[in-house]
Structure 1
Amino acid sequence: MMKPSFWLTATALLLAGPLEVAAQDATPIVATDSGRVQGLAQGGVDTFLGIRYAAPPIGRLRFQPPQKPDAWSEVADATGMGAPCMQFYTPSGPNSSDLTRQIQGIFPTGTEAKTDNEDCLFLNVWTPDASHGTRPVLIWFHGGGYNYGSGGWPAYNGRNLAAKGDVVIVTVNHRLNAFGYLNLAEKFGSDFAASGNVGNLDLVRSLEWVRDNIAAFGGDPGNVTIMGESGGGSKVSHLMAMPAAAGLFHKAIVQSGPGVISGKPADAARYADEILAAAGVSTAAELRSIHPEALLAAVRKASPADAGFGRGPSFGPIADGTIVPRDPFIPAAPPQSRNIPLMIGYNKDEMTLFLAAQPWFGRIDDAALDMMAKGMGEDAVATIAAYRKMYPDYSPTYIASAAMGARFVRGTYLLADQQSSTAEAPVYVYRLTWETPVGNGVFKTPHTLDIPFMFDNAEESAALVGSGPEPQVMAEMMSDAWLAFAKTGTPKSRLLPDWKPYRPDHRLVMELDVKPRLVDDPEGTIRTIGR
């Protein structure tokens, strides 16, 4: 990270050729509160990659709240992504097939294990012009649950969205899995009081960095939107309820990841005890010195085969009464975010991305589906019946997939109901229904399909969205709406009908398709099962 500017200049010369072209390809040098940085212009956008926003969380800072980085004197090289956090995949994590490996070209998942590192607190900035301006800022928190992922996935490239909207885009890496969410407070006392939530405190630290530095990149620290998908949506939800994040952002977008509740300290402490036992660690000194790969190996050993998707122990923020005072949206929305406009939504067939590589996918019949539902209880039987009525053309496989994804539906509407019941700012709800043709349409409208569209990266993400005019229409429509929301608090596009706010007494939802429409409570039956 801390290479002298000589190396940046040499890199630009090698990449660009003649001196006059290289000079155009280097960004302005930007002074942050820790030191100067310089990146490269990409597609007319000044791009700064791998900026350190906190001190390396290693040694004495392992499992501790993030600290400001030490200052540097030379111009730091911001031409390459910073390392992602150490990656952990549960057995229910990314599945492998030719098609899913194709999609991992834009969501790299397992390939990041080749470059991951405990020293991972970096962020990336895309800005149309770092030399001046006061532009809205959009900060992206990555998916992968709380186990894996980074802000460097190709699908998250902010160049197109920054150029289209004249905005500043920021993506963030932070501590994950055991490095960010291992509750050691009960085991080792007050010195580790924050350990179960330090991954989310990293996110707060990134917001503080934006507050203190983004003006130097042409951004407006007074107009910040936080957004994220899947685990990133849960991170946004929790930031809305974290006192340390109050005042650091002004709008929020939750995509396929409503974070209604938090983990419980006692459960997290038991999981931590099992991990420490698997690692052979009994003292704080041993914990600070254990090799990170050995710690990750212990996590794998201590995690049961059915961990993931709500089964068994998992990593994530805990409601410790201080950093996260309570469940974010139970029993009500957090009072601190009453003035935060919220956009929230989900995709029609979330689970197909995870299930399509399973050996049973496409092979079950109605009898097998009914047997599965009965084994899971009354709510599952009611959910299967509701989806059969809603989608009469769906095969048993897709009905099963829809039922498994009902948690996205229920969580989205529960969070939207809670927020809109008490908030002074509006809530907007969407439901993505456009189906991707990739793999002969096997995925329909899967998890992550929204990302290439709202980032305006459809062409670069053909592995997931396919090619032709329809993905471009969806990208124009959704990136329009996301940008308008970030700028004004209202999602708009010339390709959309008037998008009215959602209320508990009038649950208006924008169905996003080539021919979008505003509908009233489109999954009311699913929404109310189990309440």
Structure 2
Amino acid sequence: MNPIDRRTFLGQLSLATAAIYVPRYGFSSDGQAADFVEVDTAYGRLKGMRNDGVSIFKGIPYSGRVSGDRRFRRPAPLESWTGVRDALQVGPPAIQAPRRNEPAPAEDCLFLNVWTPATDNRKRPVMFYSHGGGFVIGSGASASQDGSSLARNFDVVVVETNHRLGLLGFLYLDEIAGSDYAGSGNMGMLDITAGLKWVHDNIAQFGGDPTNVMIWGESGGGAKTSCLYAMPEAAPYFNKASIESGPGVRMTPRDVAAETTAMLLKELNIAPKDWRKLLDVPAVDLLTIQGKLPFVPPFQEKNRNQGTMRRNYGGFGPVVDDVVLPHHPFDPGAPAISLNKPLLVGWNEDEYTFFAWERKDTEFTKLDFEGLQKKLEPPYGTDAAKIVDTYRKANPKSSAPDIFIAVSSITMMGLGSVDIAEKKAKQGGASVYLYNFGYKSEKKIPGTDYAMGTPHAMDISFKFNNEIPPRDGSAPKESFFGGNRPERFAASHHFAELWTTFARTGKPAAKDVPAWPAYNLKTRPTMRIDTTCEVINNRFNDELAMWRSLGKL
């Protein structure tokens, strides 16, 4: 299998993440009855639960209806309620395959969850997270991204939304449907923006500071964060950002989005002039049709051949529509609208082992260097020899499988991350900080003796500080990806402290971690996050020079 086949990325990710992250909701995490806590919002009073030092509110509506005549449009206004509304269970996720232990997916999915140390008048930093799953699956209720530990251990407020995904969130109708559907190709992004506005208007009641909001996200959530960073409508509601393993340098151009819409209408046998028939198609049928069309990965390759891009990409994701998203997030440069907003960006060292695990790909572990070159020839042609030679010289102790993972991982998530860091540094505004997550899990890819290392998505539970010993003193359970070694607890604490300090001050820092210099184009410092963290200057210098020579960076 092509190691960096980006067209299949979301298809693989969709299947895998649904299996990995099993969300939990209800009362306390230990099964004990939790105390209730109430808070006022602009729309009515809410009842949440207080457990183990954290107040938790789940399933809060942040905007109105998006079904019926609101499909593909901005939401209806949120209606106030009388009395006290329960906020004890998560709301339904966006239309997708059913998610274990969550309500049935629904069109009307605009709900969010809040974790806070206390509903007092403290002005804590707010960490507004966008979930992964590309642009087609996921929710703000996954267990690995439970915000309790961050709120409890680092005195921050965590917010996560459900928002429209896939066809219902990103179908581009602007050219055929009229002014009521302006921005239709970015409804999923506008939902997230509505969540940010709700935070601005209400989070003070939850102990948060509406003037100190960090947006962050992993994989597809990183790409969503990249878009928010460039969106005028989102700009007033956050002041810093973190893009993690999802460098959204470029998004879908209008003409490609229009072609995707034409493919959909043809599949449904609907003439463009009769597009309103889309409003009557059951959501479950739209989901079936969505599965027949291409996926949009949370990155797009540097577009050197528009015709190739047309063939390879389509599907449903944010659209560069000159209105909601005026231009590509980081192409040709960092967005001027966020000039003064600090940024974190980076990736995991062994991203590709996730996909090897998901695809049950064990063949790469048997590669020798001759076989490695042959495996890289389909995507790289005659450049494959140069790639292998460069990586062997830069990493003389690495095996052929190691180099395969390194090449696949950096091309998936690393080159875009470096591109963003370079462009933000060149902009000369607020600082940008580049990182690699490198804690090595000892868990093996099934059917092999090859360790997972630092796979895609492993960072989620670490940065949320959910890799911690049980609070009841019982023996720790094995982490899904992180393994059994107790050293993972230190790595998780470092990761979480760096991110929460950045949320608080705009500069990442942590106890027992070296000072993290802002990225610059001379020394190019990168923080490697692990049990022991270190700053590495000019990391991957030879490899990146080679990728630049090939026009990949």
TM-score category, normalised to shorter length: 0.7 to 0.9
Determine the C-alpha separation between the residues in 1 that align with 2:270 and 2:185: 17
Give the counterpart letter for 1:256 in structure 2.
S
Determine the C-alpha separation between the residues in 1 that align with 2:513 and 2:343: 18
Equivalent in the alignment of 1:373: 376
Determine the C-alpha separation between the residues in 2 that align with 1:212 and 1:379: 53
Does 2:295 correspond to 1:294? no
- State TM-score, norm by structure 2: 0.84
1:92-241 superposed matches below 5 A? 111=100, 115-241=104-230
Does structure 2 conserve the Cα–Cα contact (< 8 Å) formed by 1:409 and 1:526? no
**Percent of aligned pairs with the same amino acid:** 36
Deviation string for 1:397-425 (max 9, x for gaps)? 33223222223111111101111111421
Equivalent in the alignment of 2:6: none
Equivalent in the alignment of 1:469: 486
Give unmatched runs, 5+ long, in structure 2: 1-25, 301-311, 469-476
Determine the C-alpha separation between the residues in 1 that align with 2:288 and 2:298: 17
Deviation string for 1:59-81 (max 9, x for gaps)? 11111123431111131111111
Deviation string for 1:137-161 (max 9, x for gaps)? 1111011111111111101100000
Give the counterpart letter for 1:516 in structure 2.
C
Give the counterpart letter for 1:267 in structure 2.
V
Deviation at 1:348, TM superposition (A): 0.6
Change (3 A) 1:379 1:325: farther
Equivalent in the alignment of 1:481: 498
Determine the C-alpha separation between the residues in 2 that align with 1:112 and 1:84: 11
Does structure 1 conserve the Cα–Cα contact (< 8 Å) formed by 2:220 and 2:298? no
Equivalent in the alignment of 2:507: 490
1:116-515 superposed matches below 5 A? 116-282=105-271, 283-303=274-294, 311-356=312-357, 357-358=360-361, 360-377=363-380, 378-407=382-411, 408-439=413-444, 442-459=451-468, 462-515=479-532
**Equivalent position SS for 2:233:** helix
Give the counterpart letter for 1:373 in structure 2.
L
Q: CA RMSD for the aligned pairs?
A: 2.4
Change (3 A) 1:208 1:266: same
**Equivalent position SS for 1:463:** coil
Change (3 A) 1:221 1:423: farther
**Equivalent position SS for 2:193:** helix
Deviation string for 1:260-304 (max 9, x for gaps)? 111111111111221222233342331111100101111122348
Give the counterpart letter for 2:536 in structure 1.
V
Does 2:71 correspond to 1:71? no
**Equivalent position SS for 1:223:** strand
Determine the C-alpha separation between the residues in 1 that align with 2:385 and 2:338: 36
- State TM-score, norm by structure 1: 0.87
Give the counterpart letter for 1:148 in structure 2.
I
Change (3 A) 1:134 1:344: same
Does structure 2 conserve the Cα–Cα contact (< 8 Å) formed by 1:84 and 1:150? yes
Structure 1 stretch 511-520 or stretch 399-408: which is displaced more? 399-408
Deviation string for 1:403-453 (max 9, x for gaps)? 222231111111011111114211111111221112366211111122112
Does structure 1 conserve the Cα–Cα contact (< 8 Å) formed by 2:249 and 2:331? yes
Give unmatched runs, 5+ long, in structure 1: 1-10, 89-108
Structure 1 stretch 128-137 or stretch 477-486: which is displaced more? 128-137
Deviation string for 1:482-510 (max 9, x for gaps)? 11111111111112111111112221111
Deviation at 1:379, TM superposition (A): 5.0
Deviation at 1:259, TM superposition (A): 1.1
Does structure 2 conserve the Cα–Cα contact (< 8 Å) formed by 1:454 and 1:482? yes
Change (3 A) 1:16 1:153: closer
Equivalent in the alignment of 1:26: 36
Give the counterpart letter for 1:188 in structure 2.
A
Determine the C-alpha separation between the residues in 2 that align with 1:225 and 1:312: 31
Deviation at 1:112, TM superposition (A): 7.5
Determine the C-alpha separation between the residues in 2 that align with 1:168 and 1:365: 49
Determine the C-alpha separation between the residues in 1 that align with 2:388 and 2:264: 37
Does structure 2 conserve the Cα–Cα contact (< 8 Å) formed by 1:339 and 1:423? no
Structure 1 stretch 277-286 or stretch 155-164: which is displaced more? 277-286
Determine the C-alpha separation between the residues in 2 that align with 1:441 and 1:43: 39
Does 2:41 correspond to 1:36? no
1:50 to 54, 59, 67: 59
Aligned residues: 493
Deviation at 1:114, TM superposition (A): 7.4
Deviation at 1:521, TM superposition (A): 1.7
**Equivalent position SS for 1:119:** coil
Does structure 1 conserve the Cα–Cα contact (< 8 Å) formed by 2:394 and 2:542? no
Deviation at 1:123, TM superposition (A): 0.6
2:538 to 517, 521, 524: 521
Equivalent in the alignment of 1:104: none
Deviation string for 1:298-323 (max 9, x for gaps)? 1122348x999864423211111111
**Equivalent position SS for 1:482:** helix
Deviation at 1:188, TM superposition (A): 2.8
**Equivalent position SS for 1:140:** strand
Determine the C-alpha separation between the residues in 2 that align with 1:402 and 1:110: 32
